[in-house]
Amino acid sequence: MRLCKRDIAPFLHDPARAAGRTAFCVALLWTILSGIFTESAAQETGLRFFAEAYDETIYQRREGRNTVTMAQLYEGVRKPVPGVGIWDSYVKIRYGSDANKDFWNNRGEVMLGTRLRFFEKVYLALYGEYVRGEYIAYDQEAMPYAPSYEDWRGGLIFWHGWDPGGWAPGGALPFTAWSETYADINYLEKDDQNIIGYIESKLGLQLLRLHKTRLDLYGVVYAYYDRNADFWNNHAAAAPGIRFTPWSDLDLNFRVEYLWGTYYQRSGRYENPYERNYQDLRIGFFFWYGWGD
């Protein structure tokens, strides 16, 4: 995917901007270090520390045989709010890169954020983040933005999974059914104050489980929609897939999917260079791990 070119002025190095970025990073570091409580102080305030790490690397045949990586790390404090849910305040670092050097995939971001989760069995959370970012690899002629940017983001996140075979202590019979649904809706101020919605829903069968190693077959539906009618945010796809999890405690898995998709008939800021209907082969590596309650 490549955006249509726009007339832009060349972006020169700005010492003041660089100094501002340095000061911001120092302030974030001070915030993290100053937030380290003693055990007794943490018990008195009800705060608990948590961290989350996530990485996904996906090969996409249709995107010029591109391989895209996105990794992020959260670190913060968590406080129960009686009668409401769980409130997190955190620092998040996100890094993205790809083989084709498309600018939208090649950037680093540092965020200060907060989120409020409402339920225990179903993940439903509101979040808000202040973002400082930097594009780290791009074609200057095709680059419509300044290399450094800031953003305000917020939204609602939903996830629910049903997996009785995964809860079995030692193993499970073949063809044990499971399902997962993830959805979010996000506001991005930098993206012309866009609102973007996304949903991903899987229904699968556990084909094999040996201790903490499992093999799954599933069907998945993806759908995207946004207010600005950008073509890359306005399409849907369905795919059969196979997932291999070598060690379930780490939430580490490999997936292969073959997608059939279509773009919605909407006209937005950019012309869609692709045919309306498409097919794609995707091979992915996914990892998530969390520390703390």
For residue range 137-175, what is the model confidence (pLDDT) as tens digits?
A: 777 777 788 899 999 999 999 999 998 877 654 555 678
Radius of gyration of the chain (CA): 21
Residue 3 forms part of a structural domain:
no
Domain with residue 179: its CATH number is 2.40.160
Average pLDDT over residues 24-44: 51
Under the banding of pLDDT at 50, 70 and 90, the label for residue 25 is low
Residue 4 forms part of a structural domain:
no
Cα–Cα distance between 27 and 110 in angstroms, integer? 12
Cβ distance 153 to 189 under 8 Å?
Answer: yes
| Paired sense of beta strands 235-247 and 148-162, if any | unpaired
Main-chain phi, psi angles of 91, to 5 degrees: -110, 135
Residue 188 forms part of a structural domain:
yes
Q: State how far Cα 198 lies from the chain centre.
A: 11
- Residue 272's SS3 state is coil
CB environment 100-125: b (16+ within 10 A), e (fewer) = bebbbbbbebbbbbebebeeeeeeeb
Which tokens belong to 241?
């897939």
Which tokens belong to 167?
């809860």
Residue 196 forms part of a structural domain:
yes
Domain span at 113: 15-291
For residue range 240-250, what is the model confidence (pLDDT) as tens digits?
A: 999 999 988 88
Cα–Cα distance between 167 and 229 in angstroms, integer? 41
pLDDT of residue 41: 54
Cα–Cα distance between 1 and 195 in angstroms, integer? 20
Residue 6 forms part of a structural domain:
no
Pick from 260, 244, 258, 158: which is nearest to 209 by CA?
244
pLDDT of residue 293: 66
Residue 219 forms part of a structural domain:
yes
Say whether pLDDT at 264 is over 70. Answer: yes
Residue 46 forms part of a structural domain:
yes
- Residue 45's SS3 state is helix
Under the banding of pLDDT at 50, 70 and 90, the label for residue 2 is very low
Written in H, E and C, the secondary structure of 197-232 is EEEEEEEEEEEEEECCEEEEEEEEEEEEEECCCCHH
| Domains in the chain, number | 1
For residue range 56-90, what is the model confidence (pLDDT) as tens digits?
A: 999 999 988 999 999 999 999 999 999 899 999 99
Q: Is 6 exposed, middle or buried (0-12, 13-18, 19+ CB in 10 A)?
A: exposed
Residue 7 forms part of a structural domain:
no
Integer distance in angstroms from the first to the last C-alpha of the chain?
Answer: 39
